[in-house]
Amino acid sequence: MNLILLSPEEIENNRLARVSDPRRLRHLREVHRARPGDRLTLGLLGGGIGQGELIGLDAEAATFALEPLDQPPPPALPVHLALALPRPRMLARTLEHATALGAKAITLLHTRRVEKSYWMSPELDAAKIHQHLVLGLEQARDTVLPEVTLARGFRPFVEDVLPGLLETRRGLLAHPGMANACPRDIEAPTLLLVGPEGGFIPWEVEKLLEAGCEGIHLGPRILRVETAVTALLARLF
Protein backbone atom coordinates (compact mmCIF):
# COMPACT_ATOMS: atom_id res chain seq x y z
CA MET A 1 0.00 0.00 0.00
CA ASN A 2 2.16 2.83 -1.31
CA LEU A 3 -0.86 5.12 -1.45
CA ILE A 4 -3.93 5.29 0.75
CA LEU A 5 -6.78 5.43 -1.72
CA LEU A 6 -9.68 7.48 -0.36
CA SER A 7 -13.25 7.41 -1.52
CA PRO A 8 -15.03 10.80 -1.46
CA GLU A 9 -17.03 9.90 1.65
CA GLU A 10 -13.80 9.31 3.58
CA ILE A 11 -12.87 13.00 3.20
CA GLU A 12 -14.34 15.85 5.23
CA ASN A 13 -14.08 19.45 4.00
CA ASN A 14 -11.03 18.59 1.90
CA ARG A 15 -9.03 18.69 5.12
CA LEU A 16 -9.53 15.50 7.07
CA ALA A 17 -9.54 11.90 5.91
CA ARG A 18 -10.80 9.04 8.02
CA VAL A 19 -10.03 5.42 7.15
CA SER A 20 -11.90 2.82 9.14
CA ASP A 21 -11.85 -0.49 7.28
CA PRO A 22 -9.95 -3.31 9.00
CA ARG A 23 -7.73 -4.12 6.01
CA ARG A 24 -6.15 -0.70 5.75
CA LEU A 25 -6.01 -0.19 9.50
CA ARG A 26 -4.13 -3.44 9.88
CA HIS A 27 -1.80 -2.54 7.03
CA LEU A 28 -1.08 0.88 8.55
CA ARG A 29 -0.37 -0.69 11.89
CA GLU A 30 1.53 -3.83 10.88
CA VAL A 31 3.31 -2.90 7.65
CA HIS A 32 3.72 0.87 7.86
CA ARG A 33 3.98 0.73 11.67
CA ALA A 34 2.41 4.14 11.40
CA ARG A 35 2.38 6.56 14.35
CA PRO A 36 0.72 9.92 14.74
CA GLY A 37 2.95 12.53 13.10
CA ASP A 38 3.89 10.26 10.18
CA ARG A 39 3.36 11.69 6.70
CA LEU A 40 1.89 9.31 4.17
CA THR A 41 0.80 9.51 0.54
CA LEU A 42 -2.94 9.62 -0.06
CA GLY A 43 -5.04 9.87 -3.17
CA LEU A 44 -8.68 10.42 -4.02
CA LEU A 45 -10.26 7.66 -6.07
CA GLY A 46 -10.36 9.05 -9.60
CA GLY A 47 -8.62 12.22 -8.46
CA GLY A 48 -5.33 13.71 -7.28
CA ILE A 49 -2.56 12.64 -4.95
CA GLY A 50 -0.92 14.40 -2.02
CA GLN A 51 0.44 14.00 1.47
CA GLY A 52 -1.31 13.74 4.78
CA GLU A 53 -0.23 13.68 8.39
CA LEU A 54 -1.55 10.91 10.57
CA ILE A 55 -3.18 12.68 13.51
CA GLY A 56 -5.01 9.80 15.10
CA LEU A 57 -4.88 6.00 15.01
CA ASP A 58 -6.98 3.76 17.22
CA ALA A 59 -8.85 0.49 16.86
CA GLU A 60 -11.67 2.18 14.92
CA ALA A 61 -10.03 4.60 12.55
CA ALA A 62 -6.96 6.36 11.21
CA THR A 63 -7.40 10.10 10.80
CA PHE A 64 -5.23 12.21 8.52
CA ALA A 65 -4.83 15.97 8.17
CA LEU A 66 -4.74 16.37 4.41
CA GLU A 67 -2.58 18.65 2.35
CA PRO A 68 -3.97 19.44 -1.12
CA LEU A 69 -4.40 16.30 -3.25
CA ASP A 70 -3.14 18.21 -6.26
CA GLN A 71 -0.65 15.88 -7.92
CA PRO A 72 -1.87 13.98 -10.97
CA PRO A 73 -1.84 10.18 -10.93
CA PRO A 74 0.86 8.51 -13.07
CA PRO A 75 0.18 8.28 -16.82
CA ALA A 76 -1.99 5.39 -17.99
CA LEU A 77 -0.93 2.87 -20.63
CA PRO A 78 -2.69 3.39 -23.97
CA VAL A 79 -3.92 -0.18 -23.92
CA HIS A 80 -7.17 -2.06 -23.89
CA LEU A 81 -6.31 -5.55 -22.63
CA ALA A 82 -8.57 -8.35 -23.84
CA LEU A 83 -7.64 -11.34 -21.77
CA ALA A 84 -9.04 -14.84 -22.02
CA LEU A 85 -10.51 -15.41 -18.56
CA PRO A 86 -7.77 -17.09 -16.49
CA ARG A 87 -8.38 -19.47 -13.62
CA PRO A 88 -9.46 -17.60 -10.52
CA ARG A 89 -6.18 -17.19 -8.62
CA MET A 90 -4.36 -16.25 -11.79
CA LEU A 91 -7.13 -13.75 -12.58
CA ALA A 92 -6.65 -12.03 -9.23
CA ARG A 93 -2.92 -11.61 -9.68
CA THR A 94 -3.16 -10.66 -13.35
CA LEU A 95 -5.68 -7.91 -12.55
CA GLU A 96 -3.31 -6.58 -9.90
CA HIS A 97 -0.29 -6.65 -12.23
CA ALA A 98 -2.14 -5.04 -15.15
CA THR A 99 -3.62 -2.35 -12.91
CA ALA A 100 -0.28 -1.60 -11.28
CA LEU A 101 1.29 -1.27 -14.73
CA GLY A 102 -1.38 1.27 -15.76
CA ALA A 103 -3.92 -0.59 -17.92
CA LYS A 104 -7.29 1.21 -17.76
CA ALA A 105 -9.50 -1.02 -19.87
CA ILE A 106 -9.66 -4.78 -19.41
CA THR A 107 -12.05 -7.17 -21.13
CA LEU A 108 -12.26 -10.70 -19.76
CA LEU A 109 -13.04 -12.89 -22.72
CA HIS A 110 -14.41 -16.36 -23.21
CA THR A 111 -12.51 -18.57 -25.62
CA ARG A 112 -12.70 -22.27 -26.36
CA ARG A 113 -9.96 -23.21 -23.91
CA VAL A 114 -11.38 -21.18 -21.01
CA GLU A 115 -12.98 -23.63 -18.61
CA LYS A 116 -16.66 -22.80 -18.30
CA SER A 117 -16.46 -23.18 -14.52
CA TYR A 118 -14.20 -20.11 -14.37
CA TRP A 119 -17.22 -17.96 -15.24
CA MET A 120 -18.93 -19.12 -12.02
CA SER A 121 -16.01 -18.19 -9.79
CA PRO A 122 -16.69 -15.75 -6.94
CA GLU A 123 -13.53 -13.97 -8.13
CA LEU A 124 -15.71 -12.52 -10.90
CA ASP A 125 -18.02 -10.72 -8.47
CA ALA A 126 -17.81 -7.00 -9.07
CA ALA A 127 -16.75 -6.46 -5.45
CA LYS A 128 -13.91 -8.98 -5.73
CA ILE A 129 -12.67 -7.52 -8.99
CA HIS A 130 -12.84 -4.05 -7.47
CA GLN A 131 -10.72 -5.26 -4.57
CA HIS A 132 -7.94 -6.50 -6.85
CA LEU A 133 -8.01 -3.30 -8.88
CA VAL A 134 -7.68 -1.28 -5.68
CA LEU A 135 -4.69 -3.39 -4.60
CA GLY A 136 -3.05 -2.64 -7.95
CA LEU A 137 -3.73 1.09 -7.62
CA GLU A 138 -2.48 1.21 -4.02
CA GLN A 139 0.70 -0.56 -5.12
CA ALA A 140 1.45 1.75 -8.05
CA ARG A 141 0.29 5.01 -6.40
CA ASP A 142 -2.47 5.42 -8.93
CA THR A 143 -6.05 6.59 -8.36
CA VAL A 144 -7.85 5.78 -11.61
CA LEU A 145 -9.71 2.47 -11.63
CA PRO A 146 -9.53 0.36 -14.77
CA GLU A 147 -12.85 -0.49 -16.34
CA VAL A 148 -13.35 -4.25 -16.46
CA THR A 149 -15.92 -5.73 -18.81
CA LEU A 150 -16.94 -9.35 -19.31
CA ALA A 151 -17.34 -10.87 -22.76
CA ARG A 152 -18.94 -14.24 -22.18
CA GLY A 153 -19.02 -15.23 -25.83
CA PHE A 154 -16.09 -15.20 -28.25
CA ARG A 155 -18.12 -14.82 -31.41
CA PRO A 156 -20.25 -11.89 -30.17
CA PHE A 157 -17.04 -10.21 -29.01
CA VAL A 158 -15.39 -10.64 -32.40
CA GLU A 159 -18.45 -9.65 -34.39
CA ASP A 160 -20.01 -6.92 -32.27
CA VAL A 161 -17.28 -5.42 -30.07
CA LEU A 162 -13.94 -5.93 -31.78
CA PRO A 163 -14.59 -3.81 -34.89
CA GLY A 164 -15.35 -0.78 -32.72
CA LEU A 165 -12.25 -1.32 -30.59
CA LEU A 166 -10.08 -1.58 -33.69
CA GLU A 167 -11.39 1.66 -35.20
CA THR A 168 -9.06 3.66 -32.98
CA ARG A 169 -6.57 1.04 -31.85
CA ARG A 170 -3.81 -1.13 -33.24
CA GLY A 171 -4.85 -4.73 -32.58
CA LEU A 172 -2.09 -7.06 -31.37
CA LEU A 173 -2.77 -10.75 -30.90
CA ALA A 174 -0.16 -12.28 -28.61
CA HIS A 175 0.09 -15.94 -29.51
CA PRO A 176 3.01 -18.38 -29.68
CA GLY A 177 4.20 -19.05 -33.21
CA MET A 178 2.94 -15.83 -34.78
CA ALA A 179 5.16 -14.31 -37.46
CA ASN A 180 6.39 -11.15 -35.75
CA ALA A 181 8.13 -10.49 -32.47
CA CYS A 182 6.31 -8.25 -30.00
CA PRO A 183 7.11 -4.64 -30.99
CA ARG A 184 8.81 -2.38 -28.46
CA ASP A 185 8.13 1.09 -27.15
CA ILE A 186 5.04 1.84 -29.20
CA GLU A 187 2.90 4.80 -28.28
CA ALA A 188 -0.20 4.11 -30.34
CA PRO A 189 -3.48 3.16 -28.69
CA THR A 190 -3.45 -0.62 -28.68
CA LEU A 191 -5.82 -3.51 -28.21
CA LEU A 192 -3.77 -6.38 -26.80
CA LEU A 193 -5.32 -9.84 -26.95
CA VAL A 194 -3.91 -12.58 -24.72
CA GLY A 195 -5.16 -16.15 -24.86
CA PRO A 196 -5.81 -18.67 -22.12
CA GLU A 197 -3.48 -21.37 -20.87
CA GLY A 198 -3.30 -23.68 -23.85
CA GLY A 199 -3.74 -20.71 -26.19
CA PHE A 200 -6.38 -19.56 -28.63
CA ILE A 201 -7.56 -22.35 -30.94
CA PRO A 202 -6.63 -22.00 -34.63
CA TRP A 203 -10.16 -20.86 -35.59
CA GLU A 204 -10.00 -18.08 -33.00
CA VAL A 205 -6.59 -16.97 -34.24
CA GLU A 206 -7.96 -16.91 -37.77
CA LYS A 207 -10.98 -14.81 -36.76
CA LEU A 208 -8.83 -12.30 -34.88
CA LEU A 209 -6.37 -11.95 -37.75
CA GLU A 210 -9.22 -11.59 -40.24
CA ALA A 211 -10.64 -8.81 -38.09
CA GLY A 212 -7.40 -6.90 -38.53
CA CYS A 213 -5.23 -7.88 -35.58
CA GLU A 214 -1.50 -8.46 -36.07
CA GLY A 215 -0.06 -11.64 -34.60
CA ILE A 216 2.92 -11.16 -32.28
CA HIS A 217 4.98 -13.51 -30.13
CA LEU A 218 7.32 -13.28 -27.16
CA GLY A 219 9.79 -15.91 -28.37
CA PRO A 220 9.93 -19.67 -27.94
CA ARG A 221 9.17 -19.68 -24.23
CA ILE A 222 5.61 -20.41 -23.17
CA LEU A 223 4.74 -18.14 -20.29
CA ARG A 224 2.00 -18.25 -17.70
CA VAL A 225 -0.74 -15.75 -18.36
CA GLU A 226 0.27 -13.44 -15.54
CA THR A 227 3.93 -13.46 -16.62
CA ALA A 228 2.98 -12.95 -20.26
CA VAL A 229 0.69 -9.99 -19.55
CA THR A 230 3.36 -8.19 -17.52
CA ALA A 231 6.07 -9.01 -20.08
CA LEU A 232 3.91 -7.82 -22.99
CA LEU A 233 2.92 -4.56 -21.33
CA ALA A 234 6.51 -3.84 -20.28
CA ARG A 235 7.86 -4.53 -23.74
CA LEU A 236 5.13 -2.75 -25.72
CA PHE A 237 5.06 0.52 -23.76
Site string for a copy of itself, 165-194 (x = CB under 8 A): -------------------xx---------
Give the whole-angstrom CA distance, residue 229 versus residue 30.
31
78/81 Cα distance (integer angstroms): 10
56, 62 Cβ separation under 8 angstroms: yes
**Residue 233 near a copy of itself by CB under 8 A:** yes
Do 64 and 11 touch, CB atoms closer than 8 A?
A: no
The verdict on 145 binding a copy of itself (CB under 8 A) reads: no
> Of 82, 100, 133, 194, which one interacts with a copy of itself (CB under 8 A)?
100
Please list the residues that pair with 16 across neighbouring strands.
12, 65
Q: What is the DSSP letter of 161?
A: I
CB 130 within 8 A of CB 173: no
- Check binding of 143 to a copy of itself (CB under 8 A): no
Question: Mask of contacts with a copy of itself, 2-41, x by CB under 8 A?
Answer: x---------------------------------------
Of residues 55, 61, 145, 223, which one binds a copy of itself by CB under 8 A? 223
Nearer to a copy of itself, 63 or 190 (CB): 190
CB of 197 to a copy of itself, least distance (A): 9
Taking CB under 8 A as the binding criterion, the range among 21-29, 57-65, 119-127, 136-144 that sits at the site for a copy of itself is: 136-144
> Does residue 116 bind a copy of itself (CB under 8 A)?
no
Pick 109 or 233: Cβ nearer a copy of itself? 233
**Four-CA torsion 174, 122, 102, 9, nearest 10 degrees:** 160
Nearer to a copy of itself, 115 or 212 (CB): 115
Contact residue for a copy of itself among 43, 102, 146, 196 (CB under 8 A)? 102
